[in-house]
Structure 1
Amino acid sequence: MFKKLGLASLVVLSLSACSTYSVNRYAVSVDNISSLKSLVGSNINVGEFNSATESKTSIMCRGVGPIKTPDGQTFEGFIRKAFVDELKMAELYDGNAPVTLTGTLNSIDFSSASGSWDIAMTINSSNGQSISVSESYSFTSSFYGETACNQTAQALMPAVQNLIGKIVQNEGFSNLIKGS
């Protein structure tokens, strides 16, 4: 009797458990590095990135389960680390640089139904300049929740790569890194 009850409980728990969809760790973009290499001789520090709204480490996907950033980072923390990684790879990052860039994640959301990540960000410089960029990254989704949520999680990294590309290729980016 106890074995049957235990087995039934285990089945119910496994059926009611939700999945967690983890975003891949960030990998630098060759295109972004190429754009940044044109700024040779610039030294850039990166300060805090914050959220214009509530900081989140996950966003629920279709009630199936949350999409989570690696290592429990906030979404703005994930983007900051990605930006720093790009600058380091381009040999532009300097924690003691005279100019420090900070960021505000104005919004981040996705549609697992239509297949898009929408991210808006403002980058501020310690020299008083700022730029705002947004990325609407489209990806192939699915009717099935499990598949759609997994594809949504996998699409965040290329969406952030594109967002950073829009930052560093923005005509105002060179003004952000000039001394005050």
Structure 2
Amino acid sequence: MTVAPHFAGYIENAFIIELRKAGAYDPTSPIKISGKLEEIDFSTSITTTTWMLSLTVSDANQKSFTVQSTQQFEGSFFAPVACSMARDYFIPAVQKLVREVLLDPRFQQMAKPVRDLLTQASGPSGNDVR
């Protein structure tokens, strides 16, 4: 029997995938950035389905910030359809949260030492890794 990951695990995997795509994920890095899922909720109505996600991001230096992401989609009068839509729209809501965190200047500041190390590793050729 396979059990799907819980919400926090799913969101963590989404971050890892995006960071790997960007060439910015190294599980052996001395720089550790973590996240705590503070809120995950959805509501449905006749007109809208809304996911609300709140994530606190922190580093080893005790710096932290919280991103609250809200994603709205179309709703449905028929409850089973509305709940199904909430399920279907969870992935885009997580994608939005990941994007908002990764583009946040506070996250970029936390990750800056990693970028500096990558830039130094690129050598004198001037080919910066971003």
TM over 0.5, shorter chain: yes
1:173: which partner in 2? 107
1:132: which partner in 2? 66
Q: Give the one of 38, 46, 69 matched to 1:106.
A: 38
Q: Give the one of 61, 78, 93 matched to 1:144.
A: 78
Quick check: which has more Rg, 1 or 2?
1
Q: Give the one of 3, 10, 24 matched to 1:92.
A: 24
Higher helix share: 2
1:83: which partner in 2? 15
Q: How many angstroms apart in 1 are the aligned matches of 2:96 and 2:108? A: 18
1:159: which partner in 2? 93
Work out whether residues 125 and 177 of structure 1, in 8 Å CA contact, stay in contact via their aligned partners in 2: no
Q: How many angstroms apart in 1 are the aligned matches of 2:6 and 2:40? A: 11
2:55: which partner in 1? 121
Q: How many angstroms apart in 1 are the aligned matches of 2:8 and 2:22? A: 21
Q: How many angstroms apart in 1 are the aligned matches of 2:108 and 2:85? A: 35
Structure 2 unmatched runs, 5+: 114-130
Give the 4+ runs in structure 1 shifted more than 4 A.
none
Structure 1 unmatched runs, 5+: 1-69
Name the SS of the counterpart of 1:110 in structure 2.
strand
Shift of 1:72: 2.4
Alignment RMSD (CA, Å): 1.5
Task: Report the TM-score when normalising by structure 1.
Answer: 0.58
Q: How many angstroms apart in 2 are the aligned matches of 1:123 and 1:71? A: 26
Q: How many angstroms apart in 2 are the aligned matches of 1:142 and 1:151? A: 8
Shift of 1:71: 4.1
Higher relative contact order at CA 8 Å, sep ≥6: structure 1 or structure 2? 1
Paired positions, count: 110
Q: How many angstroms apart in 2 are the aligned matches of 1:127 and 1:160? A: 26
